[in-house]
Amino acid sequence: MTAPQVQAHVGGWLTLAGPTVDLCNPADTRETVAVLRSVETGVVADATARAAPASARWARTSPLARGEILRRAADHLVASGAEIAVAMTRETGKIIVESRAEVVRAADVLRFMAQSHRVDHGRTGPLPLENEIAWTVRMPLGTVAVITPWNFPLAIPAWKIAAALIHGNAVVFKPAELAPLSASALVRALLAGGLDPDLIALLPGDGAVIGPALVGSPDVAAVTFTGSTAVGRAIAADAAALGKRVQCEMGGRNAIIVMEDAELEPAMEAVLLAGFGTSGQRCTSASRVILQRGIAAQFTDALVHRVQALRVGPGLDEAVQVGPLVSAAQLRNVQQALSRAREEGAEMLCGGGVLGHGEFQHGHFMQPAVVRCAPDSWFTDHETFGPVVSVYEAADFDDAVRLNNVVPYGLSSSIYTRNLEHALRFVRETDTGMVHVNRPTVGAEAHLPFGGAKDSSFGPPELGAAAEFFTKHRTAHVRWGR
């Protein structure tokens, strides 16, 4: 089967010229899943120029009509869900059950955003005289640049783009280079829902070229980004220098704390799900586990046993629990981090090696790993972004919170306990934007804010707080008569 050519969308679908890059299946690199050509800066300029007048028309469109388009797009995603899920697994390596769930999540987000503008459109307030009144309205920003990662190539673009559109903005969309098929499926769903083609541009290709062109475009009013902390900081600095609004969701080194009074089996399931789901390639992954001393040895031994039993393999195999890493570069990064951890004295309790023989020889597979390391080590502060969990021992609740907060990131955290005081104190004392009690660190709810603290986030949170980023306030003062 011939691999599809990735197309850009600027007013219509474009077949690009120039050098090609073969995008390979992470589970079997002999299979090319797509052929990518990068858009050039001239195409980016054309996209942003088209978006400006389209956004002005869209801003005058009723939010209810905008929402109807999003609702129809959600229906289209669901109708094409099986095909989209297979393409997502082939381009990212994630297991098929996760890809199917992501299609459902993306559709749910579109449906939520379709209704969200009914809830908060402003407020009224009095003025000094009896024949005066004031009210506020939320106004669109204009054109928003959306830059997204490969690990959730449908859901993250969906929640950014839907939020931008429902609030009256146009979108220029730069998807991850490794996952253009999922991005294309989302754009096609929006167009099938009736969206004006000039309101959504898809710009696949080289982020080092496209990203700066978008940030620097005079037609772009704001930039929303999800990806690494290093790239996010650079985007934030460049956008701020130009006076542009910016939102960055970046890295995480999230922890699950397990106290001595916890129900241990649910805690174990949470560690396996949050630590090794999506092969550990989530910003909300639980890559650290902090165990109170009384259950530390028992829980660690059980964790090692459970991790060794995880089934690794191609994501399209329904029985597989851990798929490949997304690329050779990502596998190499994880291996280099583990090598440095060993040099620092970390103890490899299980796994960590590359799986390069037999059924694994053509993919980016590794053994899921459990590591014991010092809390003040480089590895503790480093976001590995792979199927690796590091374990730590805490003397008591206060020590566990200290270990949770010691890292530079602050996205998500969790505690397993039956002690109400510890649960409520943890909500207050953890230094993360999202807190979970007796739940894993992963997940996002469309109606609630999603965002972190410290090196994990910059700017307003996403999803349930989307209006704070994608709109500007306008206050109207009106007097009638004398």
| pLDDT tens digits, one per residue of 133-185 | 999 999 999 999 999 999 999 999 999 999 999 999 999 999 999 999 999 99
Instruction: State the catalytic residue, choosing from 249, 383, 393, 462.
Output: 249
The conformational region for residue 269 under phi > 0 = left, psi -120 to 50 = alpha, else beta, is: alpha
Q: State the DSSP string of 409-478.
A: EESEEEEE-S-HHHHHHHHHH--SSEEEESS-S----TTSEE--EETTEESS-EETTHHHHHEEEEEEEE
Q: What is the pLDDT of residue 204?
A: 97
Residue 450 lies in a domain: no
Mark whether 197 and 57 lie in a shared domain.
yes
Q: Using alpha carbons, select from 63, 231, 224 the residue that is nearest to residue 157.
A: 224
Q: Using alpha carbons, select from 464, 459, 457, 466 the residue that is nearest to residue 411.
A: 457
Mark whether 232 and 86 lie in a shared domain.
yes
Judge whether residue 1 has pLDDT over 70: no
Mark whether 215 and 349 lie in a shared domain.
no
Q: Using alpha carbons, select from 295, 270, 276 the residue that is nearest to residue 394.
A: 295
Residue 45 lies in a domain: yes
Judge whether residue 482 has pLDDT over 80: no
Mark whether 152 and 266 lie in a shared domain.
no
Residue 212 lies in a domain: yes
Residue 451 lies in a domain: no
Mark whether 472 and 409 lie in a shared domain.
no
pLDDT (tens digit per residue) in 228-248:
999 999 999 999 999 999 999
Mark whether 243 and 326 lie in a shared domain.
no
Mark whether 64 and 84 lie in a shared domain.
yes
Residue 332 lies in a domain: yes
Q: What is the pLDDT of residue 120?
A: 66
Q: Using alpha carbons, select from 323, 469, 472, 302 the residue that is nearest to residue 370.
A: 302
Residue 290 lies in a domain: yes
Number of H helices, E strands in the chain: 15, 26
Residue 482 lies in a domain: no
C-alpha span between 342 and 350 (Å, rounded): 13
Mean pLDDT rounded to a whole number for the chain: 96
Mark whether 242 and 318 lie in a shared domain.
no
Q: 322: which DSSP letter?
A: B
Instruction: State the catalytic residue, choosing from 283, 383, 393, 462.
Output: 283
Judge whether residue 422 has pLDDT over 70: yes
CATH number of the domain at 216, please: 3.40.605.10
Mark whether 234 and 298 lie in a shared domain.
no
Mark whether 267 and 321 lie in a shared domain.
yes
Domain of 167, in residue numbers: 8-250+456-476
Mark whether 24 and 165 lie in a shared domain.
yes
Question: Alpha carbon of 293 to those of 143, 296, 388, 464: distances in Å?
Answer: 53, 5, 21, 38
∠ at Cα 256 (346, 403), nearest 5°?
60
Mark whether 136 and 270 lie in a shared domain.
no
Q: Directed axis angle between helix 96-116 and helix 155-166, to 10°?
A: 10
283 catalytic? Reply is yes
pLDDT (tens digit per residue) in 335-370:
999 999 999 999 999 999 999 999 999 999 999 999
pLDDT (tens digit per residue) in 49-79:
999 999 999 999 999 999 999 999 999 999 9
Q: What are phi and psi of 109, to 5 degrees?
A: -65, -45
Number of domains in the chain: 2
Residue 228 lies in a domain: yes
pLDDT (tens digit per residue) in 17-60:
889 999 999 999 999 999 999 999 999 999 999 999 999 999 99
